[in-house]
Chain A
Amino acid sequence: MTRVDMTTRLAGVAFPNPVFTASGCAAAGQELHAFFDVASIGGVVTKSIMLAPRSGRATPRMAETPSGMINSIGLQGPGIDAFLERDLAWLEAQGARAVVSIAGGSLEEYALLAQKLRGRAGIAMVEVNISCPNVEDRGQVFACDPTASSNVVDAVRRNTSSGVPVFAKLSPDVTDITTIARACVAAGADGLSVINTLLGMVIDTTTMRPVLGGVTGGLSGPAIRPVAVRCVWQVHAALPDVPILGMGGIRTGLDALEFLLAGASAVSVGTTVFGDPSAPVRVLRELEQALADRGIDRLSDVVGLAHRPPAARVPEDADPLGDELVPAAAAQEAAP
């Protein structure tokens, strides 16, 4: 295989490759280190951490759904102090690039979290989980309101070291994702993580009650991938210069490529890790092969490539299986 330059940049920070874990799907990397070297992937995005220790929601917290799952964990975690002492220190010792995800219930909590991270070594980026209920506003989710979103981003950006990019993680459960994206960038977000889970629900037809202890939960996995690709596409079209960390149902290297083509500069592999703990390194390998197969020698060349005008040349069909549903003759006719 010819070597492809897999390096990528997110808001000025260089990463050796574009495959990251997803927040809440990798804890803080230690358990996955049994399956692959956490320093070998682009970065480890840690479970969203809050100021205080937190027990999360009642069980059951999970249900499998077609090509996906729904979860209501409720941000269980040890709190920022234990996280810094134990988890971040461990990631740093491994030489991993840590993307620290933070979550709060108020502007003050987000600001305090950012202050705690300030000046700490071993943090490549901060990801702000804004899909949290605002306790000061009747539990309204920050990510669903442009003003609330921008207030959070502003609070975090102002309290974060200047060399550390702040990414805001967007929720797809909004009328127009670009409105929220613009608000976050205007408030100082250096990049955007797209997307968080979709709000969903499952009812047990035997007990005739909701399955999840938390009643509703977040839908993730390949079932949401087309929604996620659409969101990345729209955000990149609206804000072409803003780096995107794309995620939502990535299972293979070709899935990752789809996100890059839509405009992401890097991707997170989330739910897939539960069924395949070594998935991030596999996706990375498959992505590199897919780029090589297409004669592309620099990953950065494909970022946003799907946005080019239709008349532009496309490479020879390198993925005939992808056209399985197109009759062979028609596929040939459609070729440029």
Chain B
Amino acid sequence: MPVQVTGEVVSAKRIGAYTAMTVTAPGVPELARPGHFLAVQVGGPASSMLLRRAFALYDMSPRGVYGGTVQFVFAVSGRGTAWLAERRSGDRLDVVGPLGRPFRLPAHPVSATLVGGGYGSAPLLPLARVLRERGCRVSFVLGAGSVDRLFGHLDAKRMADTLAVTTDDGSAGERGRVSDVLPAVLERTDSDVVYACGPMAMLRAVSDIAAERGLPSQVAVEESMACGIGVCMTCVLPVVGDDGQTRMVRSCVEGPVFRGDRVRWDAVGTVPPDAVGAITAPGAHR
């Protein structure tokens, strides 16, 4: 169950194009698992920005000098994240978490490939740690537009058995996309499972590559969210259930981690006509 707490900023570090922010959040790290996310209030209590910003957990430390802390990574992409980037240590932050469903972990020590795009690699680092503890082989494929938008490659290098890097402009690693190198990595590492987090187009490509090889994939999506706790229905995407039926499911409570083969990638952004309860009659309910 998530909790709502007022935390204090411990540190805000610039890493390339991103900020990694550590916040005290009593009660949150104890419950948090890789893949969970936080919803952070922005702009202060009288702000004209009413909605929380959601961030995947990059680190959770139940015990430390500052008590329980959580860390998340973000890029400034609007007024809310711009405000957040200006917070300094000691500033207060209202945090709700942990939210969502975390990555499922394999029962046996398997070979796992973790694919991250941009700051989407943030939740993959704590995941890698847990997988290593379980005796898994961990391979990373990290990509971004350019080297300053690459995240976690230094951590990954330390932690992983293998690391492949791609950038669109060739400023680091191979020029190209993660999907260009992924098939060879899966082959070479004899991977049993694929985990991914990043932009939708990347998740779709990764899910397809895994599916072609009969490998299970777990992907963390990023949908726009108004509440993050399951009450508003803004964050939906079409997902096939165990019964074979497509439903518009909430990515904040039923996700953000989904089986890659269950997401109807071609229909994201729409309500496919075969979805349960798809609107067939005219009329535009608000």
For the complex, is B278 an interface residue (Cβ under 8 Å from A)? yes
Q: Name the contact of A275 in the complex, choosing from B3, B50, B271 (C-beta under 8 A).
A: B50
Question: What is the minimal beta-carbon distance from A31 to any residue of chain B, in angstroms?
Answer: 4
| Count of chain B residues with a beta carbon within 8 Å of a chain A beta carbon | 42
Which secondary structure characterizes the binding site on chain A?
loop
Closest to A62 in B: B234
Q: Chain B: which residue is nearest A133 at the CB level?
A: B283
Within residues 104 to 138 of chain A, which ones have a CB less than 8 A from any CB in chain B? 105, 131-135
Given A54-B279, A105-B281, A217-B286, does the pair A274, B1 have CB atoms closer than 8 Å?
no
- Interface flag for A214 (CB, 8 Å): yes
Chain B residues with CB below 8 A from A72, complex form: 286
**Are A59 and B237 closer than 8 Å at their CB atoms?**
yes
Q: Which of A54, A71, A135, A199 has the most CB of B within 10 A?
A: A54
* Contact yes or no, A139 B4, CB < 8 A: no
Do B50 and A71 touch across chains, with their CB atoms under 8 A apart? no
A231 within 8 A of B: no
What separation, in Å, do the CA atoms of A52 and B1 have in the docked complex? 30
A76 to chain B, nearest CB (A): 5
Query: Is B270 positioned at the interface, with any CB of A under 8 Å from its CB?
Result: yes
Q: Which of B253, B275, B283, B285 has the most CB of A within 10 A?
A: B285
Contact (A66, B286) CB under 8 Å given A61-B234, A273-B227: no
Q: Is A146 an interface residue (CB 8 A)?
A: no
Enumerate chain B residues within 8 angstroms of A74, measured Cβ to Cβ: 279, 284-286
Least CB separation from B253: chain A residue: A31
Residues of A with C-beta under 8 A to B247: 55
Q: Specify which chain A residues have a CB less than 8 angstroms from the CB of B253 in the assembled complex.
A: 31
In the complex, are the beta carbons of B277 and A76 less than 8 A apart?
yes
Contact indicator per residue, chain B 229-240, by CB within 8 Å of chain A (1) or not (0): 111111011000
A16 an interface residue at 8 Å Cβ cutoff? no
Q: A61-B236, A133-B285 are in contact. Are A274 and B52 (CB under 8 A)?
A: yes
- B52: chain A residues within 8 A (beta carbon): 274-275
| Secondary structure type dominating chain B contacts | loop
Number of interchain pairs (Cβ within 8 Å): 153
Q: Total interface residues on A, using CB and 8 Å?
A: 58
User: Which residues from 152 to 205 on chain B have a C-beta closer than 8 Å to any C-beta of chain A?
Assistant: none
Most A C-beta atoms less than 10 A away, residue of B48, B229, B233, B271: B233
Cβ of A274 and Cβ of B4 under 8 Å apart? no
B233 lies within 8 A of A277 (CB): no
A86 within 8 A of B: no
Q: Does A295 contact B (CB under 8 A)?
A: no
Contact (Cβ within 8 A) A73 B232 = yes
Query: Known: A59-B269, A66-B48, A276-B41. Is A54-B286 also a contact (CB below 8 A)?
Result: no
Q: Please tell me if B276 contacts chain A, counting CB pairs below 8 Å.
A: yes
Q: List the interface of chain A (C-beta within 8 A of B).
A: 24-27, 31-32, 34-35, 47, 52-62, 64, 66-69, 71-77, 79, 103, 105, 131-135, 139, 197, 199, 213-214, 216-218, 221-222, 271-278
Additional A-B contact list (12), CB under 8 Å, known A60-B234, A275-B41: A26-B231, A27-B233, A31-B231, A61-B234, A64-B51, A67-B50, A69-B226, A71-B232, A76-B248, A139-B284, A221-B50, A274-B51
29 A-B pairs with CB atoms under 8 Å apart are: A27-B230, A27-B231, A31-B253, A34-B1, A35-B4, A52-B277, A53-B276, A53-B277, A55-B248, A55-B278, A55-B279, A57-B271, A57-B279, A59-B224, A60-B224, A62-B226, A62-B234, A64-B49, A74-B285, A75-B286, A79-B277, A132-B285, A133-B282, A133-B285, A197-B286, A213-B270, A217-B286, A277-B4, A277-B231
Q: Which residues of B contact A (CB under 8 A)?
A: 1-4, 41, 48-52, 94, 96, 223-224, 226-227, 229-234, 236-237, 247-248, 253, 268-271, 275-279, 281-286
Ranked 8 nearest A-B pairs via Cβ: A53-B277, A133-B283, A62-B234, A274-B227, A54-B277, A31-B230, A55-B277, A75-B285
